[in-house]
Chains A and B, each alone.
Chain A
Amino acid sequence: MASLIGSFALVFGLCLSIFIIFFSIKNFKDNNILDKKVVSLTFLQFFFVLISFFGLIISFVNSDFSNETVFNHSHTTIPIFYKISGAWGNHEGSLLLWLLVLTLFLFLFISTSKKQAKQYRILTLLFQQIIIIGFFIFLIKTSNPFNYIFPVPNEGLGLNPILQDPALAIHPPILYLGYVGSSIIFSSALSAASLSYISKGWAKHIKQWVLISWIFLTLGILLGSIWAYYELGWGGFWFWDPVENVSLMPWLALTTLLHCILVLEKRLALTSWVVILSIATFALSMCGTFLVRSGILNSIHTFANDPERGLFILIFLFILIFLSIAVFFFFHKNENQNIKNLFWLSKETSILVNNWFMMYFLSVVLIGTIYPIFLEVFSSEKISVGPPFYHSLIIPFLIPFLIAMAFAPRLKWIKSKIEDKIQMIIFFVISFFISLLIVKNFDIDFLLNTILITSAFYLFFITLKDFFSKRIGNLAQNLAHFGFSLLILSILFNNIFSKEVITNLKIGETFISEDFKINFENVDKKNEKNFKAIIGKFNIENIDGNIEVLNPELRIYNQPNIITSEADIKTNLLTDKFITMNVVQNQDYFNVRYQVKPFMIWIWISVILISFGGLISILKKKYEN
């Protein structure tokens, strides 16, 4: 029943698009006030998608296996929380969620942009409707979440155990808020470009949307990493897997846009560049959807693939790209280029330098991700592009980037001088000595490491000092930059000082290394509704005699029948202790992997700080208004 309602609501939602477009076009020229009908219809469309979404959730909660999506991704024994999150843990449901956010954002945009010109609002709405219609058709035609199966099965196939996890339950909604937020930026930039509406006021208005999507995208990526860290069982949090890259690319573009829009807001320059970036951000989000859903790439996180879906998104993506190129070239008039040249030392130049580096990082990630596709098509050779590629191209460039990040915010608009030269140099020298000390002490003989840690420390100290300085201009920016330095430092130390042991242990055995002893005391059994667990009890004794007990689990899920290995992690402010155990076929011992990962929690904290910077920026804008 719920499925049926959901299914109809979806079709009604699509039909509403026609009315919305009709009334908007009618309203476009006739008078100066936005037709109330358009606003109500936009809300109604959102409402229908919401009903449809609830329909799916109810089907999941009731375990209504006459619905194909529910049958494929649920089971009666799954806890209720995962029944609900299972609704968007699959291809069809996640697309419905995507559509829900699309319509919600459009409604929010229309109802919060009252101060903007009517024509601009309507045109944005029309561009957004193109995207919405595309997704409606995609959903109904190739990935309908409400397909009916008959005869009705008694039991579902179950939810993949690695998806039965709290972080992964909220990861997709958060990430989609970020992805889809970029669609508003895209539509708005296209419409502003074609109406010659780009102004300081517009920059101020769209900046809110940039910040919102940026914050959600940042948090979404963070949740994904945290999940990968404790669920995939090898202690890594970023593998440069195509699907991870795909979320990083719009983030990089969005971060670039976030900086560059400041120049537009303050100096009314770089208009074309802002438009290009807005287009690129959404195009990259869509490109990501294509790469993930089509199964064109070999990745750990692929959805069930279907070539027809891939083809549909591909065509849709390129329609949007060609549309935006056409709008950009033939409707966008680039007249208000009011700065012909910039002084080399000014905020504008420093933001351009930021954009320059960000675009470089973006090109590394983009080329690294899609190059194998090109090579295979042109020469039928298959290659893999892995972490070493990204590291060797990105890390050296981080050094000047970090240093620039430290002093660029102190520059003034138009023309600037470097102030507090001595102080800046002192900080640099201090950072250098600290890095030298660390690198020397810990016997890491890489020159690159010293320089990299120096520059990260430099940024760290400068931004830390700025928190206490009276002239603190921009708390939001300072917090984000501080967070970034902390992120780089934690990642570096995490990489350098991680220790790990992989060994085979029988129950009762002890592994002894110079730093710790691992004693495998015993195993326990536990029965849950949807899985059985074998819980290992490991005593870890450090050199200082402290003993900690860790309990990794092996879970044997019944539906579907999959064995997963659950890590046990003991976190404190300085290090994480991470242990997993695995069965070895035909053997009486377990494969045990123990890792000591310093500063792990600081990686998460620093990313939260970064997004907090964005939040402060939004709140400040609200306060000023």
Chain B
Amino acid sequence: MKVLKYIIIVLMILNPNLSIAQSENLQNKITKNLRCLICQGQSVYDSDSQFANSLKVLVEQKLSDGLSEKQIYNYLKDRYGEWILYDTEFNKNTYFLWLLPILMFIIGGAIIFKLFILKKN
């Protein structure tokens, strides 16, 4: 048992293929969170369409101009609407989206607690 564990640890640490991962490229992260508008359900990062390729260049330009991730999202949202952002914002349109699952979780917990655990005869 213990031997196995050690083997795993050693493998993890010594494996040269697992050298230190570069912190994820911000440009990739941003383009992964943008929808390619002319595609069907693909992100800009995944797509090779004209539009997506231009957006990749644009994101690179804006980053080198010193814009932050958030600013780039706002810039694109201003032009194309929220539809372009896969990274769904928390705003008046999406209160329910974010809170409903949490609410379900709380209600679920309450039901279990009330029905089965609290009532002790």
Q: Which residues of A contact B (CB under 8 A)?
A: 232-234, 236, 239, 241-243, 297-302, 339-342, 344, 348-349, 352-353, 356, 359-360, 363-364, 367-368, 371, 375, 379, 381-389, 393, 397, 430, 434, 437-438, 441-444, 461, 464-465, 468, 496-500, 502, 515, 542-544, 565, 574-575, 582, 584-585, 591, 596, 598
Contacts and interface: CB of A to CB of B under 8 A. Distances in A.
Given A367-B100, A383-B83, A438-B12, A497 B18 contact: yes
5 A-B pairs closest in CB distance = A386-B86, A300-B41, A382-B83, A299-B41, A234-B46
Interface majority SS (helix, strand, loop, mixed), chain A? mixed
B41 A368 contact: no
24 contacts: A232-B46, A239-B46, A241-B41, A298-B41, A301-B41, A340-B119, A352-B116, A363-B104, A375-B93, A382-B82, A382-B83, A383-B83, A384-B82, A387-B32, A388-B86, A393-B102, A434-B9, A441-B20, A443-B20, A443-B23, A468-B1, A542-B16, A582-B48, A584-B53
A312 to B, nearest CB: 23
A367 B46 contact: no
A85 B52 CA distance: 32
Nearest to A468: B1
Given A383-B93, A393-B101, A444-B21, A388 B41 contact: no
Contacts of B83: 382-384
Contacts, number: 160
Given A341-B117, A386-B43, A386-B87, A575 B17 contact: yes
Contacts of A497: 18, 21
A384 B121 contact: no
Interface string B68-85: 000000000000011111
Contacts of A371: 94, 96-97
B7 interface: no
Contacts of A359: 104, 108
A499 to B, nearest CB: 6
A515 B19 contact: yes
Nearest to A582: B48
B88 A385 contact: yes
Nearest to A427: B5
B9 A360 contact: no
A498 to B, nearest CB: 7
Given A298-B40, A299-B40, A388-B87, A368 B21 contact: no
A393 B88 CA distance: 12
A574 B12 CA distance: 10
Contact of B93 (A381, A393, A515): A381
A266 to B, nearest CB: 15
A302 B20 contact: no
Interface in B94-116: 94, 96-98, 100-102, 104-105, 108-109, 112, 116
A214 B28 CA distance: 36
Given A386-B86, A389-B88, A393-B101, A442 B18 contact: yes
B112 A352 contact: yes
B104 A360 contact: yes
Contacts of A349: 112, 116-117
Given A234-B45, A384-B35, 5 more contacts: A300-B40, A349-B112, A371-B97, A497-B18, A497-B21
A386 B97 contact: no
B109 to A, nearest CB: 6
B57 to A, nearest CB: 12
A232 B2 CA distance: 41
Contacts of B3: none
A442 B17 CA distance: 12
A574 B8 CA distance: 12
B17 A598 contact: yes
A389 B97 contact: yes
A344 B12 CA distance: 39
B17 A596 contact: yes
A382 B104 contact: no
Interface in B9-65: 9, 11-13, 15-23, 28, 32-33, 35, 39-43, 45-46, 48, 50, 53
